[in-house]
Each structure stands twice: as structure tokens, then as C-alpha cells.
Amino acid sequence: MKVAIMQPYLFPYIGYLQLMNAVDKFIIYDDVNFINKGWINRNRILVNGRTHLFTVPLKNASQNVLIKDLQLDINEKWKNKFLKSLELAYKRAPSFYKEFEIVEQIINTKSRFIKDWHLKSFALIRDHLDINVTLVETSTKYNNRNIKGQERIIDICTKESADQYINPIGGQSLYDEQPFLDKKIILNFLESDQITYKQFNNKFVPWLSIIDVLMFNGKERTSELLKRYTLI
């Protein structure tokens, strides 16, 4: 059993989806505190050849609030404005009409909690790209918020009978391999290849939201890009 554990990112970059594609069970770490200026309610798209950071407004955003309790502060006017901005940015992209429908479904999720946007977006994108993975929220299982950091990760892996834990390469300094080995769990880190693709006639801007990847590459090509990584 291969497991990954990540805080939920909104329309994440392709490396996040590569991690999801690399495991059997992807565990959404939603009962930890919100981080300001993270990726829980914002991401980057391409607008006029440049990076544009969009943010989904939250009512109670605070580092004292758990991710699962974060409430959206949006209305139909905001949704329509956001979708219109995506249309203006990507209407000429080769896969716009097919991929825009998925984004539209996510934005129109009927919930006041952003965690439901995360879960729906992960499920829709997973199914669209034929990723064979089970999604689990930590708030619905495990009952181990009393322990923190690596110890909690190992406890979750143990409860899932995992024999391999995979983390993004950026987290190498956070983990000590020996405690995993003591539990007969292999610790690996996922390093994405240098991925490029045509973004109109602009200079390529890397690591934008999966929205950008889908708009320019479509389902088939994006599925191929999910496999372009190395496990260390």
C-alpha cells in the first residue's frame, strides 16, 4: 500500500497530481491549522503571458482555524466573475471547451466550506485523468490529532497498513528515514521532471495551476505528464 499525505491545495500544480497518481491512497490533511499565503485557497494561472495569482475569499481565515472549518466568503457574482476571468485568459487554448466544464463544476459546488471544493475537485480531476486512487480526509478517520509532525504521519501510515510513504521532494528535510524503516515503511520523495508545454506564443511559465496544464494539454497529454517524475 502506497500512501501520500498532503494539505489540500486548490487547483494544485501538476506535481501534486503526480503524487496523487503515484499512490494507492491519497490522504487529505484537513484537520490541521490554516496557513496564511499558502495554497489552500489560491493558486496561479496565466493571464496575458504572465503569472496571475487568484484567491478564493474566506470568511474566517486564521491560523487558529482548522482547514476543514474554513468557510467560503463568495456569492454568485464572485463565481461568475471568476469563471469569466478564466474564459478571457484561456478561451483560445486548445482544450478550453472540454476542460472548462470541470472547473465550472468545482466552482459551482454547493457548500459553504472550502474543504468540499477541495474534495470535489480532487475527485473530478482524478476521474477525468483516470487516476486510480482512494481519497481520505484525516478529519474523518485516524483520531490522532494529539500527535504531530512525522510521528502522526507514521501513525496514519501504520493504520493504513502502508509499506511505502511518498512525499514531495521539498519536504526532505522534514523527515528522518529510520523511524519509517522501524515500522517497515519505505520513505520516498517525488521529484517532478522539468515539464514544459506551449502556452500560446508566450515564454513558458512553469508550475502553474492544473487549470493551465489542462487547458493547454487536454486529458490525454496531461495524463502522460503525470508520469514524468522520479522517486528518490
Contact 25, 186 (CB under 8 A): no
Whole-angstrom Cα distance, residue 173 to residue 149?
12
Whole-angstrom Cα distance, residue 212 to residue 222?
10
Whole-angstrom Cα distance, residue 190 to residue 157?
17
* pLDDT tens sequence across 4-17: 999 999 999 999 99
Whole-angstrom Cα distance, residue 47 to residue 104?
18
What is the band of 60 on the pLDDT scale with cuts at 50, 70, 90? confident
Q: Is this structure's pTM higher than 0.85?
A: yes
* pLDDT tens sequence across 24-56: 999 999 999 999 999 999 999 999 999 999 999
Q: What is the mean pLDDT of residues 157-166?
A: 98
Could you give the percent of the chain with pLDDT greater than 70?
Answer: 100
**Residue 167 pairs with which residues in a beta bridge?**
189
For 111, the grid coordinates are 457548500
Give 197's DSSP letter: -
Whole-angstrom Cα distance, residue 37 to residue 199?
26
Place of cell 487568484: 54
Q: Which of 69, 13, 9, 63 is nearest to 40 (CA)?
A: 9
At 152 the pLDDT is: 98
Whole-angstrom Cα distance, residue 140 to residue 8?
14
Place of cell 465550472: 104
The beta strand positions in 73-168, using DSSP E, are 134-137, 164-168
* pLDDT tens sequence across 85-139: 999 999 999 999 999 999 999 999 999 999 999 999 999 999 999 999 999 999 9
Sorted by where each begins, the domain ranges of the chain are 2-231
* pLDDT tens sequence across 68-79: 999 999 999 999
Residue 82 main-chain phi, psi, to 5 deg:
-65, -45
What is the band of 212 on the pLDDT scale with cuts at 50, 70, 90? very high
Provide the mean pLDDT of the chain.
97
